[in-house]
């Protein structure tokens, strides 16, 4: 049985514009070769199912709704989204998290995951993403 995983974190402040991809700066833990980091994305390299957990803490320079969305090869993963409303710009600390199961179909060499901010711009103070694969 092959268990692969990756745990990525960005524990420093990162500005993420509306429509921007959350930065993935540090591999905290990694095991196996089915899950890899490629810049600000995660590459899933083996057919099967993957459990994805995303969590972030942030402030926003403007009021509005912050929405994070998981994308697989550029397309939204159904149900893999979280939103919150920010009422006080610059000082209100928000946090979002969600879990999702994604699939790499047989015959695919790999798929790419990104987390996109589809709401107002944010200044993250922590981003943590875990992806686990089990064949």
pLDDT per residue as tens digits for the range 115-134: 999 999 999 999 999 999 97
What pLDDT is attached to residue 105?
A: 93
Q: What is the mean pLDDT of residues 62-69?
A: 97
Pair 62, 46: CB distance under 8 Å: no
In the predicted structure, residue 10 carries a pLDDT above the cut 60: yes
Which residues have CB under 8 Å from 19's CB, separation 6+? 116, 117, 118
- Mean residue pLDDT across the chain: 95
Q: What is the mean pLDDT of residues 24-48?
A: 95
Pick the CATH number of 3-134 from 2.130.10.10, 2.60.120.40, 2.40.50.140, 1.20.1070.10: 2.60.120.40
What pLDDT is attached to residue 1?
A: 38
What pLDDT is attached to residue 3?
A: 85
Q: Dihedrals φ, ψ of 71, to 5°?
A: -125, 140
């Amino acid at each position: 049985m092959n268990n692969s995983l990756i745990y990525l974190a960005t524990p420093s402040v990162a500005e993420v514009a509306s429509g921007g991809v959350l930065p993935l700066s540090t591999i905290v833990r990694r095991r196996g070769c089915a899950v890899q980091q490629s810049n600000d994305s995660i590459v899933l390299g083996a057919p099967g199912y993957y459990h994805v957990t995303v969590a972030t803490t942030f402030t926003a320079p403007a009021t509005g709704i912050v929405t994070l969305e998981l994308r697989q090869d550029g397309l939204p993963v159904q149900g893999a989204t979280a939103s919150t409303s920010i009422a006080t710009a610059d000082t209100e600390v928000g946090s979002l998290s969600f879990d999702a199961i994604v699939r790499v179909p047989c015959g695919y060499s790999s798929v790419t995951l990104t987390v996109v901010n589809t709401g107002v711009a944010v200044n993250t103070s922590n981003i943590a993403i875990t992806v686990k694969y089990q064949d």
